[in-house]
Amino acid sequence: MNNDTLNAPPRAITEAMPEPAARSGETGEPSRSLLARIASLRLGAGDLNDAEFTQLLHRENLPAEAEFEFLSFGGEFVTFSVPKQDAQVWYPGTAWISPVKEEIAERLAAKYGLRLYEPINSVPVCLFPLKPGIAIHHHVELHFPQGPVIMAHPQYLKIRLQTFCGAGREFRSQVLKDLALLYDH
């Protein structure tokens, strides 16, 4: 085996990753993704604070994309609802993320030039000391050196909006479709 073979993503993951966004017929412009619409609205929203901008987006009746629906905007992050998840698929027998989810996250990190982290979920202080049988689970975070860009959890998905604007706009059209892989298995 050579290094190219070892570094090649598994066929199922590679085949599931969509091609770049299709172009719309007459204008030649890329089709607008949910993140692109939110970014465009944010640029035009003026001095709205995060709560006001969230209310504005709810009034826009944004469509779901790849089964992700807009929930809120805050602290530079867009939070999405995710399809119902089975905790046993994410955490089979342990507090750690399943090897399948971890492998998908590694492939996504490589594709977008990010680093994979698996920090623990925040735990309320009132739960300490932990009782036997209570596990503190982890979630997926994909980072640039400056900090988190994507936080994938079985109950929500958060994406730093400005990461996929400007120079990163070519990814904006398919990042949600790619992240749907984490929520399919």
Instruction: Give residue-wise pLDDT tens across range 14-59.
Output: 444 444 333 333 333 445 789 989 988 998 888 999 999 999 999 9
**In the chain, at which residue ranges do the beta strands (DSSP E only) sit?**
69-74, 77-81, 115-117, 140-144, 147-153, 156-160
Torsion of CA 150, 151, 156, 157, to 10 degrees: 0
Closest CA relative to residue 176, chosen from 28, 46, 64, 97: 64
d(CA 10, CA 5): 10
Q: What is the pTM of this model?
A: 0.74
Q: What is the pLDDT of residue 133?
A: 61
Phi-psi label, residue 93: left if phi above 0, alpha if psi -120 to 50, beta otherwise:
left
**H or E stretch at 104:** helix 99-112
User: What type of residue sits at position 130?
Assistant: L
Apex 157 CA angle, 154 and 158, nearest 5: 145
Q: Are strands 140-144 and 147-153 parallel, antiparallel or unpaired?
A: antiparallel
User: What type of residue sits at position 170?
Assistant: E
DSSP 183: G
Angle, helices 50-59/34-44, rounded to nearest 10 degrees: 120
pLDDT, tens digit (0-9, with 9 covering 90-100), for 112-139: 888 887 756 655 545 455 566 656 666 7
